[in-house]
């Protein structure tokens, strides 16, 4: 790539300010005003709606295998999910998923 | 203030495992940035200023394709649209904080710190504003620093992370571990399944906009199911 340094800094500044503005948007505008209950009810589902949306394509269409379903990655994901639901512990779930991934990747099928 | 300090450390310890994932990811970004011709300081400035992994990787790959400046900024920001949703979700909890505190919360909103804070606030509604802020900054501060340090190290050393480490899958595992403990009720599970299926169906929609559509439908569904459950009881 070949961007003059001014252009590079415009890109960085634009992304920085825009990202901050997105993150500040509602926090800044709404401030201490109370949101209606129906809206707060929907917003309680943000985490369980956004994260699975990020995760699913990464699990089922992993870039590392050119978007082809990969059994070790799928099993690691399944174990992480199961252990996470069972223990309700983020750390334990990450460790269980990691162990599964590395042991599966090192087994030659 | 004693209890707020306690909450800060709770956030810190809760977020610590993510350092082991965010650090190597930062290094990958640093290496790619250096390979694309950015010097070490520019790469670090990129991570300090934008502090959003997915958007930074997207911008960098567009720059490698020599995309026009405006396109890079717009697409990078489209990838970050979910942050506006995070902002709305944090507003009922942190909206009463002073302007500059909110500005700092906004700057340091990351996926994992947002998810940890949201879970904590929902589980413990009695928290005061200062306790909530302390938890948030505890959960976000160190990981943010690790992202920046990782970027610098990657750009400086230029060492590629070997493929056998399967680092591509560290982030999915971390996100699954974050969301799994939150799956307790039927509406929560329904929202998660809907988002997962729709994001796969919409995977071909460019600029991460499929994710936003999937998430939006899922949170409408989750809230609606919760409301119906309440009215029928």
Q: Identify the CA nearest to B145 among candidates B120, B197, B110, B192.
A: B110
pLDDT for residue A32 = 81
pLDDT at position B20 is: 87
**Residue B38 phi, psi (nearest 5):** -80, 140
Report the share of chain A in percent with pLDDT over 70. Answer: 97
Judged on CB neighbours under 10 Å (0-12, 13-18, 19+), A69 is: exposed
CA distance A82 to chain B (A): 8
- What is the ipTM score, two decimals? 0.91
Residue A94 has pLDDT above 60, yes or no: yes
- CA B169 to CA B2: how far, in whole Å? 39
- Which of A29, A33, A46 to substitute to test the interface with B, most B CBs within 10 Å? A46
Of the pLDDT bands very low, low, confident and very high (cuts 50, 70, 90), residue B2 is low
Q: pLDDT tens digits for A48-85?
A: 999 999 999 999 988 888 888 999 999 999 999 999 99
**Would you say residue A109 has pLDDT above 60?**
no
CA distance B78 to B80: 5
pLDDT over 90 at B160, yes or no? no
Contact indicator for B28, A64 with CB cutoff of 8 Å: no
Q: Collapsing DSSP states into helix, strand and coil, what is residue B54?
A: helix
| pLDDT in the model for residue B44 | 97
Give the Å distances, CA to CA, from B14 to A91, B7, B177. Answer: 8, 10, 12
Percentage of chain A exceeding pLDDT 90 = 72
Which residue among A11, A16, A44 sits closest to B72, beta carbon to beta carbon? A11
């Amino acid at each position: 790539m070949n961007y003059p340094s001014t252009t590079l800094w415009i890109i960085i500044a634009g992304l920085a300010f825009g990202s901050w503005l997105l993150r500040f948007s509602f926090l800044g505008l709404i401030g201490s005003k109370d949101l209606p209950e129906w809206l707060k009810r929907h917003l309680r589902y943000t985490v369980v709606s956004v994260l699975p949306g990020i995760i699913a394509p990464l699990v089922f269409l992993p870039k590392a295998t050119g978007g082809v379903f990969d059994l070790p990655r799928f099993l690691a994901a399944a174990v992480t999910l199961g252990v996470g639901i069972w223990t309700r512990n983020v750390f334990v779930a990450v460790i269980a998923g990691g162990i599964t991934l590395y042991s599966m990747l090192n087994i030659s099928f | 203030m004693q209890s707020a300090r306690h909450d800060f450390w709770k956030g810190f310890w809760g977020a610590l495992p993510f350092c082991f994932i965010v650090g190597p990811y930062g290094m990958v970004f640093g290496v790619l940035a250096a390979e694309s011709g950015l010097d070490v300081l520019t790469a670090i400035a990129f991570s300090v200023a934008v502090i959003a992994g997915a958007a930074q990787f997207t911008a960098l790959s567009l720059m490698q394709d020599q995309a026009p400046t405006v396109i890079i900024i717009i697409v990078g920001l489209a990838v970050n649209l979910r942050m506006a949703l995070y902002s709305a979700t944090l507003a009922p909890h942190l909206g009463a904080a002073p302007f500059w505190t909110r500005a700092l919360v906004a700057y340091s909103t990351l996926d994992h710190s947002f998810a940890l804070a949201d879970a904590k606030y929902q589980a413990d509604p009695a928290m005061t504003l200062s306790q909530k802020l302390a938890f948030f900054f505890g959960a976000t501060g160190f990981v943010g620093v690790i992202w920046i340090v990782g970027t610098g190290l990657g750009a400086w050393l230029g060492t590629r992370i070997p493929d056998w480490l399967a680092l591509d899958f560290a982030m999915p595992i971390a996100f699954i571990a974050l969301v799994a403990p939150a799956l307790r009720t039927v509406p929560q599970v329904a929202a998660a399944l809907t988002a997962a299926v729709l994001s796969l169906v919409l995977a071909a929609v460019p600029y991460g906009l499929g994710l936003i559509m999937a998430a939006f439908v899922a949170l409408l569904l989750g809230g609606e199911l919760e409301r119906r459950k309440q009215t029928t009881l």
